[in-house]
Amino acid sequence: MHSSDGQGMRTAKLLVFAAGVILLAELIGSFTFKIGPGKVVLLPMIWALLLGAAIGVASARSNSAARLDVKTQFYAAAILQPALLLFIAKLGLMIGSALPKLASAGWALAFQELGHFVGTILLGLPLALLLGIKREAIGATFSVGREPSLAIIGEKYGMDSAEGRGVLAEYLTGTIFGAVFIAIFAGFVASLNIFDPLALAMGSGVGSGSMMAAASGAIAAQQTPEVAKSVLTFAAASNLITTTVGTYFTLFISLPMALFGYRILEPLIGRTTSASNAPEAAEASGPKLGDVQTEAPHLSYGGKVLAWVVTAVFALVCDWMAHGTTPLAGLPGMLLMLLAVVVGDALSTLTGRKIPAVCWVSFAAMYATSPWCPWGAQLAELSARNDFLGVTTPMLAFAGLSIAKDLPAFRRLGWRIVLVSFVANAGTFLGATVVAQLFHI
């Protein structure tokens, strides 16, 4: 009983924090400033991420019972996983009605995947070697370093290896700073008007839901409403391809490319700095796999339903504050999202989780608004009442509230490999954008 009461208190505390963060982020609204010839757009979703992280950091210095303790931060990470499915459902509903338009993109959408992974190596690996980073550079630059990349490196080299420390640095950088960095970078590149908005959208699908949301949101904010809708649709399709095909691409193409590049470039441009000295000390002080929670704690089905409902309610409030769409007007579309999530999660369970729930939810949502569904046009109209960014802000609020627990391990990784991670993230966005631009025009 005591444990149940404790969990109930933790849930209530987290929801109060999340509600406060979301309301404050929406009240701040969008903020635009210029940098040289371009501009940066900071949207409410970025404020939600930053405010959540700030609360976690401040709580570490407080002894108050109301603080965001580490257990509650892990619970925020647990809620983030099912909340992400609601976001995926919204993407799928957008993709379904635009399938003919996506088909017309042809090779641009197919080949942008090559740019996503090659871009990280072309920019990130040379910089890492110039900074004196050794084999950690392989783990940090062969991909954007999400959970599948951790699994690949962990199985092949072990997480206590140099390659393991590198991929862990990329993972932590993406978790803590990725969404903020890619939103600023993608928004700035979009403001230069060098690339077609749809090419930029394809570049946004880096394989991370939060980073894709941040990048595509920043790009869409600078477009007309019609173009903005296409940007979000193409970004979602690109991210789906990266999520499903990307693991195999990473394992069989980009990792061998990173190894080959290291063997060729390290003797030519590799340097020796404090980052490359004393490997024994690095082994002793480097983060271990247990230092970072790479999977959220398991939630019961009731816990997942709670996460879905809470995220849906928060999303309706965000739509109301940002666009004036009343919760009653947005409710049918939100119920459609929830239905796609429940159906997709059930199909994933029935198939033994061999195909991730992310894929099933996306497929169910796409079918609902596709030309093959008898009610596709009507369901697409209902879904259009719900804004993409309305779902994104609650998701990033939970992400922000879960971040502080990873900071101790993150600090031990050093600034050089963090800089390399930023460049690798920029490389995956630019690489895919350039490839998409070449095939799209």
pLDDT at residue 5 in the model: 61
Residue 292 vs residues 168, 285, 402, 406: alpha-carbon distances, Å: 9, 14, 12, 6
Q: How many residues does the chain have?
A: 441
Tell me the one-letter amino acid at 84: L
Of 33 and 46, more confident: 46
Query: Looking at residue 140, what DSSP letter applies?
Result: H
Render pLDDT for 89-106 as a digit per residue (tens, 0 to 9): 887 898 788 777 777 666
Tell me the one-letter amino acid at 166: G
Could you tell me the pLDDT band of residue 87, with boundaries at 50, 70 and 90? confident
Residue 141 vs residues 119, 121, 163, 204: alpha-carbon distances, Å: 9, 5, 10, 17
Give the phi and the psi of residue 308 in degrees, each rounded to 5.
-65, -45
Q: What is the mean pLDDT of residues 163-183?
A: 80
Of 96 and 339, more confident: 339
Q: What b-and-e string marks burial along 123-143, b requiring 16 or more CB atoms within 10 Å of the CB?
A: bbbbbbbebbbbbbbbbbbbb
Q: What percent of the chain shows pLDDT beyond 70?
A: 84
The mean of the pLDDT values for the chain is 82
Q: What b-and-e string marks burial along 349-378, b requiring 16 or more CB atoms within 10 Å of the CB?
A: eeeeeeeebbbbbbbbbbbbbbeebeebee
Which SS3 state, helix, strand or coil, does residue 35 take? strand
Could you tell me the pLDDT band of residue 296, with boundaries at 50, 70 and 90? very low
Inform me whether the pLDDT recorded for 347 exceeds 90: yes
Say what the pTM is.
0.73
Could you tell me the pLDDT band of residue 23, with boundaries at 50, 70 and 90? very high
Kindly write down the DSSP assignment for every residue of 211-275, as one continuous string: HHHHHHHHHHTTS-HHHHHHHHHHHHHHHHHHHHHHHHHIIIIIHHHHHHHHHHHHHHH----TT
Q: Where are the domains of the chain?
A: 106-287+412-441
Could you tell me the pLDDT band of residue 290, with boundaries at 50, 70 and 90? very low
pLDDT at residue 313 in the model: 97
Place of tokens 């230069």: 192
Question: In degrees to the nearest 10, what's the CA dihedral of 419, 60, 306, 347?
Answer: 30
Could you tell me the pLDDT band of residue 289, with boundaries at 50, 70 and 90? very low
Render pLDDT for 102-158 as a digit per residue (tens, 0 to 9): 776 666 666 776 777 778 888 899 998 998 888 888 988 888 876 567 667 876 787
Inform me whether the pLDDT recorded for 353 exceeds 80: no
Q: Are 250 and 148 in contact (CB under 8 A)?
A: yes
